[in-house]
Amino acid sequence: MGEMVVSTTPGAELVAIGLGSCIGLVLTDLRLGIAGLAHIVLPDSMGKPGPVAKFANLAVPALIEKLLAAGAERRHLQAVLIGGAQMFITGSTMEIGVRNTLAVRDALGGAGIPIFSEDVGGSSGRTARVVIGRDVSSQAVGGPRLSLLSPGQPARPSRGAVGGRLTSARDLAGDYTATALTCAAALLLCGSIRL
Amino acid sequence: MSASYTETQLDALRELANIASGTAATSLSQMLGHQVDMNVPMATAVPLAGAVELIGDPADVVTAIILTVTGDITAVVVLLVHPTGVKTLSTLLGVESGTEVGDSALGEIGNIIGASYLNAISTMTGLALAPSTPTLISDLLGAIVESTLAATVAEEENVLIVDSQLQLPGESCEITFMLLPQQNGASNLLAPLGLAIGEV
């Protein structure tokens, strides 16, 4: 939780096991085979101290910097979001997953990084797995492993509004993520209404 | 701003947890008609990065019974049971695990353990503590624990975890019992013992 790692080693695995309301944010430059994973816990640091990867508003710029330092090219960076679930029905917990998702999208939008695909929302925990140069996937308990990004899939950057990004992500990512994207769209709708 | 805990304060929390889990073990034993043992509780303040692993393997699928505590302190009580433990508890209670009745019985175990634990803490500290009705979920231990932490204490630099284990000797059933007081919760727990927390 609140950790961040970048790798350039082909075939190396970056894993975040058991993401609940947290977000596993993957940023990757597929061309160069560089990827990073941040385990984001809360939407906004609001000036509090702590590891930067803990808060969406700090984690996104920090992960971008770390990838650039490892040699990635900013214009080729693409994002995948995994997690942001609502694990419990009671209390304020329910809000955190949604708020995390929206905060990460916002920060990515602000940095001009396109979202390639997402597996967010719902009420199940997920494990995020990045195999450098090969694949980004998400898996819930008892569920199939969803491939969310791989070099075979055509990359097409889109930098519009949040809604625009989701539409293009649907084109790109295919049937597997359609369900996830529906959830994401629903989340987005909730978010828009609240905002 | 972050809370820091001295060894004396952590010792005091351990002792509170020790007495409270003893009471909880007795209640559970009466409910199940089976001996219940407990280990020495742990009270630790750790950085968020290693917090989940301290509780267990994040990849394990577990059933969690969660109670939120309000009143003089705000806290969350989480009970974690592995699938074999759930089967054992269900058998002892004469219900089928995975059914509505089975879930309800497990929730009741959460109620009994949580209420007796909190009552014991109330008696020792004079604090009024009210547990919510239990919420039951089965998922990855990592997802359950991190979401609970995120909702309660994650804003702190170090999270305070008070953790006990109840065991049924002769059965493969272990109940991990976790108390997560929010920052004001920990200070308020310690204040009646004359060990209030200072800000660093």
- Structure-model confidence comparison of residues B196 and A29, the more confident one: A29
Most B-contacting residue of A37, A87, A98, A123 (CB-CB within 10 A), to test interface:
A87
- In this structure, of A177-191, B119-133, B164-178, B185-199, the range with the lowest mean pLDDT score is A177-191
Question: Cβ contact (<8 Å) for B143 and A90?
Answer: no
Pull the structure tokens for residue A189: 């709708």
A42 touches B at CB < 8 Å: yes
Q: State the pLDDT at residue A88.
A: 80
- End-to-end CA gap in chain A: 28
Is the residue at B1 inside a domain?
no
Which residues of chain B make contact with A97, given a CB cutoff of 8 A?
Answer: 147
Q: How far apart are CA B46 and CA B153, in angstroms?
A: 11
pLDDT over 70 at B41, yes or no: yes
Which residues of chain B make contact with A51, given a CB cutoff of 8 A?
Answer: 47-49
Which residues of chain B make contact with A17, given a CB cutoff of 8 A?
Answer: 58-59, 140, 142
> Residue A83 burial (CB < 10 Å; 0-12/13-18/19+)?
buried
CATH of the domain at A70: 3.30.1330.200
Is the residue at B196 inside a domain?
no
pLDDT over 60 at A131, yes or no: yes
pLDDT over 50 at B82, yes or no: yes
Q: How far apart are CA B1 and CA A191, in angstroms?
A: 30
Which residues of chain A make contact with B66, given a CB cutoff of 8 A?
Answer: 88, 90
Question: Cβ contact (<8 Å) for B146 and A20?
Answer: yes
Residue of chain A with shortest Cα separation from B68: A91
Q: Which candidate from A49, A90, A124 shows the least CB-CB separation from B132? A: A90
Across A137-143, average pLDDT: 92
pLDDT over 90 at A153, yes or no: no
- In this structure, of A52-56, A77-81, B100-104, B150-154, the range with the lowest mean pLDDT score is B150-154
Q: State the pLDDT at residue B152.
A: 83
- Structure-model confidence comparison of residues A163 and A32, the more confident one: A32
From the CB of residue A49, how many other CB atoms can be counted at a distance below 10 Å? 11
Residue of chain B with shortest Cα separation from A86: B147
pLDDT over 80 at B22, yes or no: yes
Q: State the pLDDT at residue B198.
A: 58
From the CB of residue B96, how many other CB atoms can be counted at a distance below 10 Å? 13
Closest CA to B32 of B94, B78, B99: B94
pLDDT over 80 at B167, yes or no: yes
Closest CA to B69 of B24, B104, B22, B121: B121
pLDDT over 60 at A174, yes or no: no
pLDDT over 60 at A181, yes or no: no
Which residues of chain A make contact with B2, given a CB cutoff of 8 A?
Answer: 49
Question: Cβ contact (<8 Å) for B61 and A48?
Answer: no
Range of the domain at B15: 7-191
Across A107-125, average pLDDT: 95
Q: State the pLDDT at residue A142.
A: 86
pLDDT over 70 at A192, yes or no: no
DSSP label at residue A107: H
A118: amino acid identity, one letter:
E
Is the residue at B35 inside a domain?
yes
B169: amino acid identity, one letter:
P
Across A124-134, average pLDDT: 95
Structural domain total, chain B: 1
Closest CA to A42 of A55, A52, A31: A55
Range of the domain at A10: 4-194
CA–chain centroid gap for B198, Å, is 25
CATH of the domain at B25: 3.40.1550.10
DSSP string, A12-62: -EEEEEEESSSEEEEEEETTTTEEEEEEE-BS--TT--S-GGGBHHHHHHH
pLDDT over 80 at A138, yes or no: yes
How large a percentage of chain A has pLDDT more than 70? 75
- Structure-model confidence comparison of residues B162 and A156, the more confident one: B162
pLDDT over 80 at A37, yes or no: yes
Q: How far apart are CA A126 and CA A22, in angstroms?
A: 10
pLDDT (tens digit per residue) in A41-88: 999 998 887 789 999 999 999 999 999 999 999 999 999 999 999 888
- In this structure, of A119-128, B33-42, B81-90, B176-185, the range with the lowest mean pLDDT score is B176-185
A182 touches B at CB < 8 Å: no
Is the residue at B12 inside a domain?
yes
Question: Cβ contact (<8 Å) for B151 and A42?
Answer: no
pLDDT over 80 at A177, yes or no: no
Q: How far apart are CA A16 and CA A4, in angstroms?
A: 10
